[in-house]
Amino acid sequence: MTKKESKLIEIFKNEIAKIQTPGLQEHLKNILNLCPDYISACPSSSTGKYHPADEINSQGMTYHVKRCCIFAEEIGRMDDLSPLSIDILLMGCILHDVCKSGIPRGKYTVKEHPIYVYKIIQDYLPKVSGEMISNFLTTMDIKTGIETGNKVTLVSVLNSVANVCLFHEGRWTIPESKDTWKVTNKSAMSKEDIQLCKYMHMADFFASRRTVYEVMQTNEHSI
């Protein structure tokens, strides 16, 4: 029996549509179909202690992911990132908290949630081994978009997406996440991926700040 299409594909259709690299939208949808879709109806903070006030309801996680995508786009624009780099960040934003309450869903945030989505992406990789990215046949510098001469495989791009999901908590990354990465990787992370992980953390961090939300809601008479 074929699994029903994830609710998240419809909820985040506008964010998915912003991904420009040919083929990546479909692969993102395939990965979402492998993920639980409970974040379509849950708050972004399971305790109500964190995240903006309007995210402490059944649409909260939806708001958070959409805000995260906006920050990722703005960060990309600010630092003049290549289109492929922005696509990786957008995919990371959509996927990073998809297992936030664990598998199966629990009551509270699970600290290992970055590991869960990382493993889902890693398990998807054998299905696309050897595929290339059409129109992006060589790697490009993360900022300038200048080709480096190395070929880009779909696996390498999805690995980058997995990395930004795994390390989206920045300095709060748990040791288990680092251990998981070491088990599945034989060499050091590329400088491009290290930078993308930092950008991903920035987008997630600012999207989750109550202070940012409060300032944006302040009317001109109370400034």
Given pLDDT bands bounded at 50, 70 and 90, which one contains residue 137?
very low
1 three-class SS? coil
pTM, full prediction: 0.89
Mean pLDDT of the chain: 89
pLDDT digits (tens, 9 = 90+) for 42-51: 999 988 888 8
What region, left, alpha or beta, does residue 203 occupy, with left being phi > 0 and alpha being psi -120 to 50 degrees?
A: alpha
Q: Averaged over 149-168, what is the pLDDT?
A: 87
Cβ neighbours of residue 41 closer than 8 Å, sequence gap 6 or more:
58, 59
Cβ neighbours of residue 14 closer than 8 Å, sequence gap 6 or more:
none
Q: Averaged over 177-204, what is the pLDDT?
A: 95
What is the structure's pLDDT at 214? 81
What is the structure's pLDDT at 213? 82
- Asked if 32 and 90 touch (Cβ cutoff 8 Å), the reply is no
Q: Averaged over 58-67, what is the pLDDT?
A: 95
Strand partners, 132: 153
Q: Taking the domains of the chain in order of start, what are their residue ranges? A: 7-208
203 three-class SS? helix
Q: Averaged over 56-60, what is the pLDDT?
A: 93
Alpha-carbon distance 193 to 108, whole Å? 30
Given pLDDT bands bounded at 50, 70 and 90, which one contains residue 65?
very high
Please report, rounded to a whole number, the percentage of residues in the chain having pLDDT higher than 90: 70
* Residue whose structure tokens are 């998809």: 98
Please report, rounded to a whole number, the percentage of residues in the chain having pLDDT higher than 70: 87
Alpha-carbon distance 215 to 85, whole Å? 29
In this predicted structure, the answer to whether residue 142 has a pLDDT above a threshold of 90 is no
Given pLDDT bands bounded at 50, 70 and 90, which one contains residue 119?
very high
Q: What is the largest CA-CA distance in the chain?
A: 58
What is the structure's pLDDT at 11? 97
What is the structure's pLDDT at 176? 97
Q: Which amino acid is at 31?
A: I
What is the structure's pLDDT at 22? 84
Given pLDDT bands bounded at 50, 70 and 90, which one contains residue 220?
low
Number of C-alpha atoms within 13 angstroms, CB side, residue 209?
A: 13
Q: How far is CA 4 from CA 24, 30, 167, 219, in A?
A: 20, 11, 29, 44
How close are the terminal C-alpha atoms of the chain, in Å? Answer: 57
Alpha-carbon distance 64 to 55, whole Å? 7
In this predicted structure, the answer to whether residue 198 has a pLDDT above a threshold of 90 is yes
In this predicted structure, the answer to whether residue 83 has a pLDDT above a threshold of 50 is yes
Cβ neighbours of residue 111 closer than 8 Å, sequence gap 6 or more:
174
